[in-house]
Amino acid sequence: MRSYQLSSNHALGFVFILLLITSSVFAQKWVPVKQINKELNSKLRLAQRLERQGQIEKAIEVYKYIVDKKPDNYSYYNRYANLLFKSNDFDKLNHVINRFLEYHPDNENAVVDLGELYYVRGDTSLAFNYWSESLERFHHSVSFYRVLFNGMIAHQLYDKAENLINHAREYHHKNDLFSLEMAGYYMIRGEYISSAREYLLYARTNPKNYKIASRQILRFPSEENIFIGIDSLINNEINESGSKPYLHRLRGDILFKFKRYDDAASEVFYVEALSGNKGKEILDFAKDLLQEGEYEKSEKLYTEILQRSEFQKIAPKALLGLANAAEKSVINRQSISPLTYFFPGNLFFNTDFVQSVDVSEQHLQKAFSIYDSLIITLPRSTYSAEALYRLAELRFRVTRDFDGALKLYRKAYEVSRDRNLRNNCKIRIGEVALAKGDPIAASKIFTGEVRKREGTDIEKSLKVRALLSEYLSGEIDSVIASQNDILGLLGVKNPLFNDVFEFMNFLDENYTKTNQEGKEAFKDFVKGELLVRQNKLSEAGEIYKFVLLNYPDVPVASATRFRLSQIQLQFGKMEEAEKTIEPILDIGELFADEVSFMMAEIAHYRDNNIDKASHWYELILERYPYSLYTDLARKRLREFQKNANLEKES
């Protein structure tokens, strides 16, 4: 009976204690997991911000709080451990790493971290023994090799890291194991031949991904000793692996990079032979030559393609390429034009006209002849559509035969099934109307097309050109009123956004903010702009002179002087241009550094007058030290000095 009473008392006591504990627990506030995670993420952002601000000790405190709350979370652990490594706080590191390993004993990153801790605190033998034992424990897994390799590299244990990879390759019997990692490692260290060897090893086992190797090797410095070493490696690879297309393609890429164009062409022809002579490789190569400015070599190669019977299927494409090379050899070598310096590249202030080209030049006539023959021999084909468009471009941009160009653009639009080419034709048809001095007709063309093409990829380009037409017709207030709509439609990522934004700022400064006299002057300025759009430069010059004579103090006067000086320079009147821009330079106002740079480059590149160019470059450095052109001016002056010293030595 006593025994029973004692047992009952014990039981009652236990129940009482249990009730106390339970009530205590439930009295505490229950916090949902979602709320805890939200708090920790907020703390994490705070820690990262403190770290960026250089407040390392405070960041460590916050990271400690986070990791203590979630000691098994690798993301939190990793950030905290990295910061402790940087702070050399070895005691805390030891605690944090070992605690994390209690939760995740097989986490390879944390295992390597522990070895790194041993190493950085001076226990070198312990570190290497621990890593070696861990390698065995993880059964020599490829992933552990990779993590350990990166850890060794982080501590500049380069020899050990290389030995580790060699060990991995031997153990797994794979010579190409980690070839990409080793290639990148050697490249960072500037050991380019070793890097190329690893990339070739990767390409050998992954021929479909050879472009990865090619792309990286092509980033190597253009030094002769590097070329010799790489070319030797590729030739050895060809001899060992046989004539595989990707190897000859790779060698062709390398030869091209180092400007061995003839040898590169031979490799590409060999690739074609191995791949069935489809022609794509050699056509791409000829186009690459063109983009490098190697016009004669490109023409020569296109001619050779046309002469080879195995490439008859691509003859029309080769003919188009030959004509393109012929016209570019003339157009792209034109002397530098002063008309391109007023808001460079901006659609609202620049035309696509090519200046100072002899239309009777042999190469240009060759292009005309080829396009004509393609139009006749392959009517209503993809090739004739391309030929029609390019011929129209020559008529429009070079000969300024606007009526002839218009007919060709319309015909190309009718024949072509290529959306981009048809879009370009529609745009050019409107631009021809502008070039003929009829902005109202151009506006109707562009606006009409906008209604038809709403929601398509050409709509924005058409709307911008409709705005340009409205501007050139003198409807300035209407243009300004549509500012927000057009910018909203374009969006900041559209390539025309900056053009419109710059143009609207120009209107704001020179029209909106001025008085009635300034507005009248601006409208006359626009008349000059319309004449420039027609390439009637002499007449435009007279309009600009009229503006300067009658409205010398209005805001648009500076822009007018800039424009007039461009036309004077185009006609070779350097002294007149210098007088025209004097007021801009004297008061150092808007366009002062731009016109100075224009004067310098025209003297430098077109007139080959180094003394005059030096004067203008020096003026930029002296008067406009914060100009965007300062660094370039300084560089050019150094080049002049270097060339002068070389002439003295010789």
List of residues 6+ apart from 247 with CB closer than 8 A: 203, 234, 237, 238, 241
In whole angstroms, what is the distance from residue 305 CA to residue 465 CA? 40
**What is the C-alpha radius of gyration for the chain, rounded to an integer number of angstroms?**
36
CA distance 505 to 512: 10
Q: Given this model, what pLDDT does residue 14 score?
A: 41
Q: Compute the distance between CA of residue 641 and CA of residue 649 in angstroms, rounded to an integer.
A: 12
Q: What is the pLDDT of residues 304-362, one digit of tens each?
A: 999 999 999 999 999 999 999 999 998 887 768 999 999 999 999 999 999 988 888 89
What pLDDT digit, counting tens, does each position of 391-434 carry? 999 999 999 999 999 999 999 999 999 999 999 999 999 999 99
Share of the chain above pLDDT 90, in %: 81
Q: Is the dihedral of CA 288, 290, 294, 295 positive or negative?
A: positive
DSSP state, residue 452? H
Query: Has residue 630 been placed in a domain?
Result: no
- Check if the beta carbon of residue 84 is closer than 8 Å to that of residue 47: no
CA 519 to chain centre: 40
Range of the domain at 103: 39-284
pLDDT (mean) for 530-543: 98
Q: Give dist(CA 288, CA 264) in Å, integer.
A: 12
Closest CA to 591 of 550, 616, 624: 624
pLDDT score, position 8: 44
- Phi, psi (rounded to 5 degrees) for 16: -65, -45
In a domain, 546, yes or no: no
Q: Would you give the distance in Å from CA 276 to the centre of its chain?
A: 34
How many angstroms separate the CA atoms of 604 and 334, rounded?
15
Residue 168's contacts (CB-CB under 8 Å, 6 or more residues apart) are 140, 142, 145, 177, 178
pLDDT at 2 over 70: no
pLDDT of residue 34: 60
Q: Is residue 583 part of a domain?
A: no
- Residues 450/466, Cβ–Cβ less than 8 Å: yes
Q: Is residue 28 part of a domain?
A: no
12 pLDDT tier (thresholds 50, 70, 90):
very low
Model confidence pTM above 0.85: no
Query: What pLDDT is stored for residue 120 in this prediction?
Result: 94
The pLDDT assigned to 36 comes to: 61
User: b or e along 60-86 (b: 16 or more beta carbons within 10 Å of the residue's beta carbon)?
Assistant: bebbbebbeeeeebeebbbbbbebbbe
- In whole angstroms, give the CA distance from residue 111 to residue 127: 11
Q: Which long-range CB contacts under 8 A does 460-466 form with residues at least 24 apart?
A: 460/489, 460/490, 460/494, 460/496, 461/423, 461/427, 461/496, 462/426, 462/427, 462/430, 463/489, 464/347, 464/490, 464/496, 464/499, 464/500, 465/347, 465/427, 465/430, 465/431
The pLDDT of residue 457 is: 86
In a domain, 372, yes or no: no
The predicted pLDDT at position 21 comes to: 40
Give the single-character DSSP code of 358.
-
What is the reported pLDDT for 590?
84
- Counted domains in the chain: 1
467, 479 in Cβ contact below 8 A? yes
**Which letter, b or e, does each residue of 343-368 get, where b requires 16 or more Cβ atoms within 10 Å of its Cβ?**
beeebbbbbebbbebeeebebbebbb
Q: Is 304 inside any structural domain?
A: no
Mean pLDDT of the chain: 91
Alpha carbons 143 and 563: distance in angstroms, whole number: 65
Which residue type is seen at 571?
A: F
- φ, ψ of residue 558 to 5 degrees: the values are -65, -45
How many residues comprise the chain?
A: 650
The enclosing domain of 193 has a CATH number of: 1.25.40.10
pLDDT in tens, 71-90: 999 999 999 999 999 999 99
Residue 112 in any domain: the answer is yes
Which of 167-181, 331-345, 465-479, 625-639 bottoms out in mean pLDDT, i.e. has the lowest?
331-345
Q: How confident is the model over 109-164, as pLDDT tens digits?
A: 999 999 999 999 999 999 999 999 999 999 999 999 999 999 999 999 999 999 99
pLDDT at 619: 96
Using the predicted structure, report yes or no on whether residue 507 has a pLDDT greater than 90. yes
> How far apart are the C-alpha atoms of 519 and 78, rounded to whole Å?
65
DSSP H helical segments within 155-223, as ranges?
Answer: 158-172, 179-188, 192-205, 210-217
Residue 540, domain member (yes or no): no
